[in-house]
Chain A
Amino acid sequence: MGTLVKAVGLTKTYGDLVAVAGIDFEIREGECFGFLGPNGAGKTTTVRMIHCVSPVTSGTLTVGGMPSGIRNRALKMITGVIPQEINLDIDLTVAENLIVFARFFDIGRREAKARLAELLRFVELEAKAKSKISDLSTGMKRRLLIARALINRPRLIVADEPTTGLDPQARHLIWQRLRQLKAQGATLVLTTQYMEEAQQLCDRIVVMHQGRILKEGTPGRLVEEEIGREVVEVRVPPEDDARVLAHLGGLECAHERVGDTLYFYCRDGHGLMKKLLELDLPNTLNRPATLEDVFLKLTGRSLHE
């Protein structure tokens, strides 16, 4: 498939602060591409440049072959944005939100009405058409944001942390809808801090940290390459490390001590567990490796604020 978004040396600075430090990436037509990273990694800044609301400081960024830029109306016409912050128009009703937004895209009244009905059905808000925004739950507001982003039938959908603050039901409904959109052929650009979300939705991801891209790949391969297949967590005091490691002897396993836990990253978790059982430790856990392990390994375990 062709490339829809291409960034070369993409950089964004605010005064002395470097938010995005010369990154390269390519997003293919029809895929779901995820930006992962802790707070302040530069994810939102990057996608804001993709959907043309933030000027590029240096480097190049093209969408559909056109250079991205805040004056590029043609790109904004084919892009739908699901923002991180719920910025629905609280002075308007649910239906009015969509009707007014349709006008911004030069969509006529009759066409807007037709899309309104279709989109409210899609996000299961038909019964709420006349409601005030303040009467909606957070999940409903997020769904309405999705409907609003789809009003112009976008080719590129940018979703910036679309499920923040949602309960599992609402989150799964949103994931369903996003997958449905992708199946219909839209290209999805997603930022998230939820590893499960990335694993559920993304074909390819990049892990960002301090304005740079640390790794790129499919979620499965990144886990495999960075961590392995399995993780064993042993909750023992640090003074026991030497004893445990000595006992495991020949097993090939990377290990890491973090706080109260000793982590083992390995292919043969089963064999490791057998050995550990001989030590009769009170608190051990064998589980599959996840993207979260990759994330923490790459971006460090300290807090990012």
Chain B
Amino acid sequence: MSLSYRIAYVFLRNLYSYKRFVVPTFLVSLVEPLFYLITFGVGMGAYMGAFGGKPYLDFLVPGVLVSAVMMASSFECLYGTYIKIVHEKVYDSLVATPVSADEAVAGDIAWGSFRGLVSGTLMMAVALVMGVAPASPWRFVVLLAFMVFMGVLFGSLAMIVTSVAPSFDFFSYYTELIITPMLFFSGVFFPLDHFPGWMKTLAQFLPLTHAVRVSRAVFTGEPAAGLGWSLAGLAVLAVAVFTVSIHMMRKRLIK
């Protein structure tokens, strides 16, 4: 791989272009958490009573936080990157400069991660307003770092899909068959305890399950079993997926 500080230039390019979309994306990023936290948290939570001794909203927030990161970084590296390759030809002009194709892709993954961080942070802000806060301030900082990490993981995963996508429609397979189911099988909205055995096993193969576990443990300060394994698994997966995504995108870009 040929990666250098030039990744920052690609990030900068995206930051410049973001100026024009910052208001609509902030609105969308705010509406999404409100939707989840109000409908599920407040609406449904009223019927759920205490959830492990706390309101349902407290259970919901850490999971929805990483889900928001997953959604934002995935969409950026699916649709955002695809537009830059096929429609705007940004990559064509980039690879003719000293910026390598690898750096262009890494810069876009970094950008996807940033978009995830923005979404996650707005979600956290809404949660704070609704009275749900991390157990201590430093946990807040750790969560921010974790969101960046998850953004890289899910951004890279999406980038692999983009590297083989013949058209926009292709992304529906990924979002409808992978991302959306993952949302419901990863313990975001309810604990996995009552799943049948095979579903529990399946859930263990979903990165979001582990991300939610880490997020919840950091957020609440309650210890969770196998936390170290979850983190290690996510780290290994992130490195693998990042490497593969750069490799596959290079194949698409260099001909």
Contacts and interface: CB of A to CB of B under 8 A. Distances in A.
A76 B97 contact: yes
Given A85-B89, A89-B90, A51 B101 contact: no
B93 A87 contact: yes
B95 A53 contact: yes
B99 interface: yes
Interface stretch (A102-110, A197-205, A268-276): A102-110
User: How extensive is the interface on chain A, given as a class?
Assistant: 20 to 34
A92 interface: yes
For B9, B92, B96, B254, the residue with the greatest tally of chain A CB atoms inside 10 Å of its CB is B96
A105 B254 contact: no
Contacts, number: 68
Contact of A91 (B2, B12, B17, B101): B17
A14 B90 CA distance: 23
Contacts of A92: 13, 16-17
A101 B88 contact: no
A92 B84 CA distance: 13
Given A85-B89, A87-B90, A89-B88, A73 B98 contact: yes
Contacts of A55: 254
B6 interface: yes
B221 to A, nearest CB: 42
A77 B99 CA distance: 10
Contacts of A148: 93
Contact of B98 (A76, A83, A90, A91): A76
A126 interface: no
B254 A91 contact: no
B194 interface: no
Given A54-B254, A76-B96, A96 B90 contact: no
B96 A81 contact: yes
Nearest to B9: A103
Given A14-B255, A85-B92, A71 B2 contact: yes
B135 interface: no
A77 B89 CA distance: 20
Interface string B11-33: 01100110010000000000000
For A54, A88, A96, A100, the residue with the greatest tally of chain B CB atoms inside 10 Å of its CB is A100
26 contacts: A51-B96, A53-B96, A55-B254, A70-B95, A70-B100, A70-B101, A70-B254, A73-B98, A76-B98, A81-B96, A83-B96, A85-B89, A87-B88, A87-B90, A87-B93, A88-B93, A89-B13, A89-B90, A89-B93, A90-B88, A91-B17, A92-B16, A96-B16, A103-B9, A103-B13, A106-B98
